Structure 1
């Protein structure tokens, strides 16, 4: 048994211990994003007497923050957690970024190679690829490298990471010759500060970066000498309130930095330059902008001229300008048609020519234009109707422009080149495309003799990497190896000597991107550059067996992003067996779509197990894992079993499901005897054209099924009851509805005699609550009291008390727009009592976590009752409506209180709080006695130090229903 000491762990959002009976988890009116949570002091012992076992789903391991596991906690032993599931065997690591050094001697990649979710920087020697070397320094717990760039001489790499403090991105420098050893470049940051962007100067002597270094959330521009790390100078001039620096670039001579900022006027972005010898003293470069105008982007030419794109003369119409002197610019593009705009531009390597994309001649038709040698001309070929230019680039020798366009066939994007030395016609360069194929991106080889491009050229939606020479257009060769099913090439780069490409692809395992090198000249000669990646697991949801001895969970335990069901025994944590049957390629068990039978001997689940994207219903015996039977009958073409609640009959002998089994897109209700799987019976009566079954529920004795459908009149949703012994013959339960009325939700009483439903029964769009007795169908009584004008009963949050004598509901019954909580005794329909205490102006009762105590004596609810938008939890006795007691202790500023619930003995209430501390989320779990309000004990881990974002996704009593936390 693996024991995790809680004082060594940090949690993000901690579970809540909840009673499965009578808890309403639907979200609804009043549940806003307030600020609510406990302050940092440790609560005193609240005298909790009885132990509570809770299973919860969380990414609890801060060293593998993308792994979601199941843990067992006990409220009387808060020092230890038991991990229930075994470690995941699936490869979860990915290579997410890669590049060559400028000299091509090394390739570098960013991957969670060692720990799932912890991204680090690795170096591969291209002369003798072997075991990659980790380049970054040692990371803090939960830290990751975020981005990187090389110095021009290839000797150093600058990277951003939360290396020293989790959640705080700072800037570091590592030498290629001394991997694993780094220095911090930036000056000290405030608690919530981050380095955002960074760049070496062309001479390699400086690093500039943007960060909110001096003022939180205000991005400014800084310069640091790598030989004097930790001491930076602010480059930008003083910013107007609300201003910030966006992008920046060094001049080619490394003496100046240009930057875009709303420095003088908030939200008006202009172009500035600063001499690095005079930091803090900048000059504005652009000419005066028209009202509403902004500088959009800019480029230095290799000769030091500065070009920028802006709607300088006409608001909303971007054009390209060259800076002549500060405040004095010249327009570079040709005149635009009314409504036209330049979308982007590039310069050739010598700075002597420009290409830009614009709807210059026809509004909304984007074409490619060339400016150079005194010539301004369109260079793309004639476009088919609807055609546009998508992307473009100069060749390194400046003789060609390549571009992607749907030039010949609308919405079919292909690759073209045009020789700009003669400005002749363009030539299509890619090989013929498969139907629906497209070129997605391209890059010229550094030797300018050819291009590499990524396209679904051979198979639609399978993106691969191709090489083609300018001398042989249309004769492309594939560079990558054959891809696994679902695999694609996602990113690539060409070596500086044009001999090979490196690329990222899920070539061997779907959804696992790895790093490969391929020869351009010798097709098929390739090598994987990364070593084995981190394994991991993502458990998405779980269910506890009725006797509390077993847990079934859905996870990609064996293969990344392929979700099966697994079964574990609570007495032997750390081991599990695969429960679901073998899946077809691409198949998965669906999320939140499985359940134990009432006796715990079987599990039903929803999956595309036999045919990818065809979802059906399966049953597996827990004593015979891995061998399942299909429950539904054969489906019509394109039919599916709907992903509704798994509905066993209470005796466990039957299941009901909703499916377009007989007619595509017509959802009906079917009953299957579990002893004869694959043979189902339609339960509902014949549907009117356009009709569908919407939802359904077994009666507590299993003899009947109630369902909601537009069975008799299309788009009029009504309530029906069918006896499972006489399928196809249903009875309408509701009384006659007004024109255009609908029933939106229903619930069955615990004794199975009555149904409460919400409908705009009497007045269109005025929703009220009604009660009907199954023994007298067609008659109903209104439950709620009279509503104020504009008032409604809310869909979420109405329920029977556990003893079935009362109905709880939420409504803006007394004040339009103010949602409050009401209780009605079924012996006196139409006369309700308001349960909550008086609300502050703007306050509401939320549907989240609204619950009866199991003995029906009390209701616990969540509301911003005392302070607007600060949601807290309250308890009220049904015998004393309007007199409630706050249960939680005072909340810290910026905190939020989420789910809560009542213990099986009705004595205790647990609740979850959430807050962010220094940009790092923290959730905590508390338990409080209803007779000792405000005096809670904390069940979750007290966090010490820093940790990555940690989540609690779901939780359950043992045994009990599973509840999900939503933040």
Structure 2
């Protein structure tokens, strides 16, 4: 899709437009070392064109920070040393190709840079962090997108993390504690948490309704090995400061001096949070306003630890992988803990289950790793109600084959299509480890088919985005030249013949009471 890339160049961050008509991307396609932003029509009717302002030699967009599109996709925002060499500032340009930029960030000291930024959902302002007054002391600033007034500093303390509320009215940020401030700086910041309740404030999230902040917190305690260790729990507080900080999950002290940050998700209706303690591998559910006591969700009839979890699309169910030394299985449980967990898969005695994704159509997709690696890994899906046995979506494993990229195990391996009918996934079919793109119906009614074009020796597919309202996708790969990442487009699903679904097969819950399953302690 992109224009030819010069030797040593590449395409980096990229994004399909909301209407599916074009792709925006950044990289070094023309000049090695000069990162620029481009767009190209998806139908190939025009060549790629540069959107970012022209740069002097040796300058360009900040390569480690992705560009952002305005909500209307009429402008692109990016960080670049456009005006002063080695000084990263925030700029905005139209997406019409005029390449006339507007600087959004304010004055910086000689060593200063804009570190990161976020637009308000309504697109009227942009919030950014910069060491504008002292080197490496990153304060929080807000600027109007139309540059009608100068940027304003929102708080005197250094900010470590920040998020804008869904209604674009406030910025929630983490300094020494959690704070909230009007996005335009029209009033002082309000302290939301306090050290009397929690000494430590970690990752936080804003509930979808914009009413509360849910955050990881806890306290320090002495440890004979590391001297100081952190007990981690989950807390909640209203963003308007109208109520106290609530302890949703009591902090859990680490054993064996292993204290890892926790994971948590919030349901779409904002009422519940699911908390995965990586200290002891347990899974808890809590009401975000503290209206009901917290519950342990992995309450199985044998000692177990939870490896990973996901929420169903409506937030009513939690899907999780749990097990012990005897193996792992996939389970579901109501998010409020009102029923015991139900097994969706048999107990796999070896390896792991990974890469959980839950579709809006009510299926769970997962990767089975028989040997704790991508080699011989297989892709499965199972109905969320557990009424049918899991079905394998990928081809039977062959020597050296597997799901995902064996050299980049931290990246995504699979994607569910917007209509929830298809699964697109990365796979290497043999010992050559060439990673290609495949597509399978999510219910397994037909065999998987290759989506990507043939790769050169050493070529791999890395990432995928779907084109809205079309059975088409865009993927990045070094398909034509090993080591040169570029963009390609392909259809998916359309070449697979339609037909009746698989005949029902006896699943884990086919006998006995509906909704029940037999679970055997490993």
**TM-score bin, normalised by smaller chain:** 0.5 to 0.7
* Alpha-carbon distance in structure 2 between the residues aligned to 1:114 and 1:463: 40
Partner of 1:834: none
Partner of 1:203: 122
Distance 1:121 1:418, change over 3 A: farther
Partner of 2:181: 274
Partner of 2:471: none
Partner of 1:477: 393
Distance 1:271 1:451, change over 3 A: same
Once the two structures are TM-superposed, the CA of residue 279 in structure 1 deviates from its matched residue by 4.6
Pick from 266, 282, 286: which aligns with 1:371? 286
* Alpha-carbon distance in structure 2 between the residues aligned to 1:116 and 1:506: 30
* Alpha-carbon distance in structure 2 between the residues aligned to 1:463 and 1:117: 39
Partner of 2:226: none
Partner of 2:300: 382
Once the two structures are TM-superposed, the CA of residue 462 in structure 1 deviates from its matched residue by 3.8
Once the two structures are TM-superposed, the CA of residue 151 in structure 1 deviates from its matched residue by 3.8
Whether 2:301 is the aligned partner of 1:395: answer no
Please give the residue correspondences for 1:36-185 in structure 2 after superposition, counting only pairs within 5 Å. 97-99=13-15, 108=24, 110-114=26-30, 119-121=35-37, 123=39, 136-142=52-58, 143-144=60-61, 145=63, 146-176=65-95, 178=97, 182-185=101-104
Task: Describe the superposition over 1:593-651 as per-residue Cα deviations: whole angstroms up to 9, x where unpaired.
Answer: xxxxxxxxxxxxxxxxxxxxxxxxxxxxxxxxxxxxxxxxxxxxxxxxxxxxxxxxxxx
Q: Is the CA contact (8 Å cut-off) linking 1:466 and 1:477 kept in structure 2? A: yes
Once the two structures are TM-superposed, the CA of residue 198 in structure 1 deviates from its matched residue by 1.5
Once the two structures are TM-superposed, the CA of residue 326 in structure 1 deviates from its matched residue by 3.7
Partner of 1:300: 206
Q: Is the CA contact (8 Å cut-off) linking 2:128 and 2:140 kept in structure 1? A: yes
Partner of 2:510: none
- TM-score with structure 1 setting the length: 0.38
* Alpha-carbon distance in structure 2 between the residues aligned to 1:174 and 1:339: 49
List gaps (5 residues or longer) in structure 1.
1-88, 262-268, 537-558, 562-967
Once the two structures are TM-superposed, the CA of residue 227 in structure 1 deviates from its matched residue by 1.8
Once the two structures are TM-superposed, the CA of residue 466 in structure 1 deviates from its matched residue by 4.1
SS state at 1:365 partner: coil
Once the two structures are TM-superposed, the CA of residue 257 in structure 1 deviates from its matched residue by 0.7
* Alpha-carbon distance in structure 1 between the residues aligned to 2:348 and 2:237: 43
Pick from 241, 246, 253: which aligns with 2:160? 246
Once the two structures are TM-superposed, the CA of residue 321 in structure 1 deviates from its matched residue by 2.2
Partner of 1:461: 374
Distance 1:531 1:181, change over 3 A: farther
Distance 1:503 1:203, change over 3 A: farther
Q: Is the CA contact (8 Å cut-off) linking 1:138 and 1:180 kept in structure 2? A: yes
Pick from 442, 449, 472: which aligns with 1:524? 449
Once the two structures are TM-superposed, the CA of residue 253 in structure 1 deviates from its matched residue by 1.7
* Alpha-carbon distance in structure 1 between the residues aligned to 2:182 and 2:119: 16
Please give the residue correspondences for 1:921-940 in structure 2 after superposition, counting only pairs within 5 Å. none
Pick from 323, 330, 334: which aligns with 2:245? 330
* Alpha-carbon distance in structure 1 between the residues aligned to 2:271 and 2:16: 27
Q: Is the CA contact (8 Å cut-off) linking 1:488 and 1:506 kept in structure 2? A: no
* Alpha-carbon distance in structure 1 between the residues aligned to 2:430 and 2:24: 21
Please give the residue correspondences for 1:431-470 in structure 2 after superposition, counting only pairs within 5 Å. 436-439=351-354, 441-445=355-359, 447=360, 449-453=362-366, 456=369, 460-462=373-375, 466=379, 468-470=381-383
Task: Describe the superposition over 1:743-794 as per-residue Cα deviations: whole angstroms up to 9, x where unpaired.
Answer: xxxxxxxxxxxxxxxxxxxxxxxxxxxxxxxxxxxxxxxxxxxxxxxxxxxx
Distance 1:518 1:175, change over 3 A: farther
Q: Is the CA contact (8 Å cut-off) linking 2:6 and 2:32 kept in structure 1? A: no
Partner of 1:187: 106
* Alpha-carbon distance in structure 2 between the residues aligned to 1:345 and 1:524: 35
Partner of 1:286: 193
SS state at 1:245 partner: coil
Q: Is the CA contact (8 Å cut-off) linking 1:307 and 1:323 kept in structure 2? A: yes
* Alpha-carbon distance in structure 1 between the residues aligned to 2:133 and 2:321: 44
Once the two structures are TM-superposed, the CA of residue 285 in structure 1 deviates from its matched residue by 1.1
Once the two structures are TM-superposed, the CA of residue 355 in structure 1 deviates from its matched residue by 0.6
Task: Describe the superposition over 1:911-966 as per-residue Cα deviations: whole angstroms up to 9, x where unpaired.
Answer: xxxxxxxxxxxxxxxxxxxxxxxxxxxxxxxxxxxxxxxxxxxxxxxxxxxxxxxx
SS state at 2:193 partner: coil
* Alpha-carbon distance in structure 2 between the residues aligned to 1:133 and 1:202: 27
* Alpha-carbon distance in structure 1 between the residues aligned to 2:7 and 2:435: 10
Once the two structures are overlaid, the 10-residue window that deviates more, 493-502 or 273-282, is 493-502
Once the two structures are overlaid, the 10-residue window that deviates more, 335-344 or 222-231, is 335-344
Q: How many residue pairs are counted as aligned between the two chains?
A: 428
Distance 1:413 1:198, change over 3 A: farther
Q: Is the CA contact (8 Å cut-off) linking 1:431 and 1:457 kept in structure 2? A: no
* Alpha-carbon distance in structure 2 between the residues aligned to 1:400 and 1:456: 24
Q: Is the CA contact (8 Å cut-off) linking 2:219 and 2:251 kept in structure 1? A: no
List gaps (5 residues or longer) in structure 2.
222-228, 396-400, 454-473, 485-522
Please give the residue correspondences for 1:858-937 in structure 2 after superposition, counting only pairs within 5 Å. none
Task: Describe the superposition over 1:692-741 as per-residue Cα deviations: whole angstroms up to 9, x where unpaired.
Answer: xxxxxxxxxxxxxxxxxxxxxxxxxxxxxxxxxxxxxxxxxxxxxxxxxx
Q: Is the CA contact (8 Å cut-off) linking 1:103 and 1:154 kept in structure 2? A: no
Q: Is the CA contact (8 Å cut-off) linking 1:113 and 1:532 kept in structure 2? A: no
Whether 2:265 is the aligned partner of 1:346: answer yes
* Alpha-carbon distance in structure 2 between the residues aligned to 1:167 and 1:416: 51
Please give the residue correspondences for 1:407-426 in structure 2 after superposition, counting only pairs within 5 Å. 407-409=323-325, 415-420=330-335, 423-426=338-341
* Alpha-carbon distance in structure 1 between the residues aligned to 2:7 and 2:361: 39
* Alpha-carbon distance in structure 1 between the residues aligned to 2:89 and 2:424: 28
SS state at 1:278 partner: coil
Distance 1:122 1:338, change over 3 A: same
* Alpha-carbon distance in structure 1 between the residues aligned to 2:34 and 2:24: 16
Once the two structures are TM-superposed, the CA of residue 199 in structure 1 deviates from its matched residue by 1.3
* Alpha-carbon distance in structure 2 between the residues aligned to 1:396 and 1:118: 41
Once the two structures are TM-superposed, the CA of residue 436 in structure 1 deviates from its matched residue by 3.8
Q: Is the CA contact (8 Å cut-off) linking 1:94 and 1:512 kept in structure 2? A: no
Q: Taking CA–CA contacts closer than 8 Å with sequence separation of 6 or more, which of the two structures ends up with the larger relative contact order? A: 1
SS state at 1:254 partner: coil
* Alpha-carbon distance in structure 2 between the residues aligned to 1:91 and 1:512: 22
Partner of 1:319: 233
Relative to its length, the structure with more strand (as a share) is 1
Q: Is the CA contact (8 Å cut-off) linking 1:201 and 1:254 kept in structure 2? A: yes
Pick from 222, 236, 241: which aligns with 2:141? 222
